Structure 1
């Protein structure tokens, strides 16, 4: 943790207070704290014992501390920022609060979907927007992991997106226009946002962008051969799909490539971070309708949600 109370109950912030004197106490449980620092350890406060504290600091990594410190130092150059901001009414401690309206949560380790949903909804109820910044262990690789579906946020211009935080390169990465291919691989566009002065403009991209985005995706050929191989491997997803096809009088391994068009889908977000459920439901429906009217090809271009909505309005006139 980077903030503590002194004996006079004054708040001490290690990121901006140069001269500090102990003893130090936890702002939540009032238990005594130890000031730790070293060659490989960022200066921070730690509980002498955690048994009586319900805070969030039991396993705070050096990556987590480093990202909070870097984000605070950078954003403070141009914005009003507080670190480890407490919201007693909802029992939350935000890693950073920017301009009293944006919460940044740095997440470097897996978090239960229930806890993620609970914390996000609590911020929304306070009228705050929250962005989760994923540490290295949670970065997106070739496929979305189950937890990623819960971290996805939504923008009418950028589609489904999420943020990654790279401490080594001092950069945030915005991965947006996220889609999944037939074989489960994830495709997306990416924009780097350096952690330096002006970074707030990058963080505003999901809200401020007014440019239609597009992403060209080459489609798989001879899909039936791929499915046959997956069935031989005992892939549960394709075994279930083949069973459903049989029940309808079809066979996936004799189907043409056109049967599987568009071969690309939107990720099935289980509990989106965005509070705009109506817009997300419309995105799914309009996406399906749009490609249902297109002639199959070997290349698919996907667009921002706003394009599908406009197409749907024209189609229904």
Structure 2
């Protein structure tokens, strides 16, 4: 113990370090404690050695549930926690060679499909995409939200529930993404109309999501909601990694490429544009290493889409602008085009 006698607090004793006291336990709710005990029982039922409240002296952290043979930590998060704290704990576990899965409690399930929560807790799997795991102590049930995507500023996903930890971990490990099926023109049309309506409503309500890009477009003599169709993917969705929305990011790129008065862009200029766009629109992920690579994929795919639609062509040094993408005069004109066109992209 340390005796403290300061200027503002009454004299008192405090611990030198939490990890020095093996009997120390964080003030936790009954839900949190029950969840950890349930994880321990289920891991033991799977035949794996497991430790609860495992003290890791070198990083001054205590893991909720630790699987030493699997080098895996399970953290059951029932209370609010900052992005920086999530990132710090995750980084510390990984410095020891341990993977960590954050499993969220009932109280965290409400509002999880928001970009801030996705940035904190989402993991990535090549087949599942971005995903988050929940566990309800009250219902003794796990929930998996996967294929997290952003649609006009809203996070959407697929969801499945599981009765055991073994079942959900098996699903995550062995999941194979179904083959992509072609989307009908009518379904694509409906999706784009719904997306356009949501964007227009947000703009009318002066939602902060689109405010900056509305202003940028206005300064260029353009109307944000009238952005070219190339800015909308066929499904209207993108990875949930962008501050504001992926649509804002694409509109910004179109303005930079086609409204600058230049007829071409060198590879160096494209790289600078990419770096700048990540700074402006990138959202760091606490659970995903090298998240910038996802932006690189999106950037490359967008340039390829511009080439495929005949707006640019690749050269040895970069790209050359062939023709300008068409902007719409406003919401009504764009809506009519989506409703009547036989070729939306």
Q: Work out the number of aligned pairs and report it.
A: 247
In the other structure, the counterpart of 1:200 is: 166
**Residue of 92, 115, 123 corresponding to 2:85:** 115
TM value normalised by structure 2: 0.61
Q: Which has the larger radius of gyration?
A: 2
Confirm or deny: 8 A CA contact 2:230 2:306 kept in the other structure.
Answer: no
Q: Matches of residues 3-18 of structure 1 in structure 2 within 5 Å?
A: none
Could you tell me how far apart the structure 2 residues matched to 1:221 and 1:105 are? 41
In the other structure, the counterpart of 1:26 is: none
Confirm or deny: 8 A CA contact 1:103 1:131 kept in the other structure.
Answer: yes
Answer yes or no: is 1:270 the counterpart of 2:234: no
Q: Matches of residues 274-285 of structure 1 in structure 2 within 5 Å?
A: 274-277=288-291, 280-285=294-299
Answer yes or no: is 1:252 the counterpart of 2:216: no
TM value normalised by structure 1: 0.66
Structure 1, unmatched stretches of 5+, are 1-28, 30-48, 299-317
Q: Deviations over 1:162-208 (max 9, x none)?
A: 111111221221211100110x222111222212xxx3352254444
Higher relative strand content: 1
Confirm or deny: 8 A CA contact 1:162 1:176 kept in the other structure.
Answer: yes
The answer to which of 247-256 and 282-291 deviates more is: 282-291
Q: Deviations over 1:209-257 (max 9, x none)?
A: 3445769886241755544432332212222221111233311344576
Could you tell me how far apart the structure 2 residues matched to 1:213 and 1:67 are? 36
Q: Matches of residues 202-221 of structure 1 in structure 2 within 5 Å?
A: 202-212=168-178, 219-221=191-193
Could you tell me how far apart the structure 1 residues matched to 2:222 and 2:77 are? 45
In the other structure, the counterpart of 2:206 is: 234
Q: Matches of residues 1-317 of structure 1 in structure 2 within 5 Å?
A: 51-52=14-15, 54=18, 57-77=25-45, 78-98=47-67, 99-141=69-111, 143-144=113-114, 146-182=116-152, 184-195=153-164, 199-212=165-178, 219-221=191-193, 226-255=198-227, 259-262=231-234, 263-268=236-241, 269-277=283-291, 280-285=294-299, 288=302
The answer to which of 173-182 and 50-59 deviates more is: 50-59
Confirm or deny: 8 A CA contact 2:120 2:286 kept in the other structure.
Answer: yes
Could you tell me how far apart the structure 2 residues matched to 1:226 and 1:278 are? 28
Confirm or deny: 8 A CA contact 2:75 2:101 kept in the other structure.
Answer: yes
CA RMSD of aligned residues (A): 3.4
Higher relative helix content: 2
Could you tell me how far apart the structure 2 residues matched to 1:190 and 1:143 are? 11
Could you tell me how far apart the structure 2 residues matched to 1:232 and 1:79 are? 55
Could you tell me how far apart the structure 1 residues matched to 2:126 and 2:148 are? 13
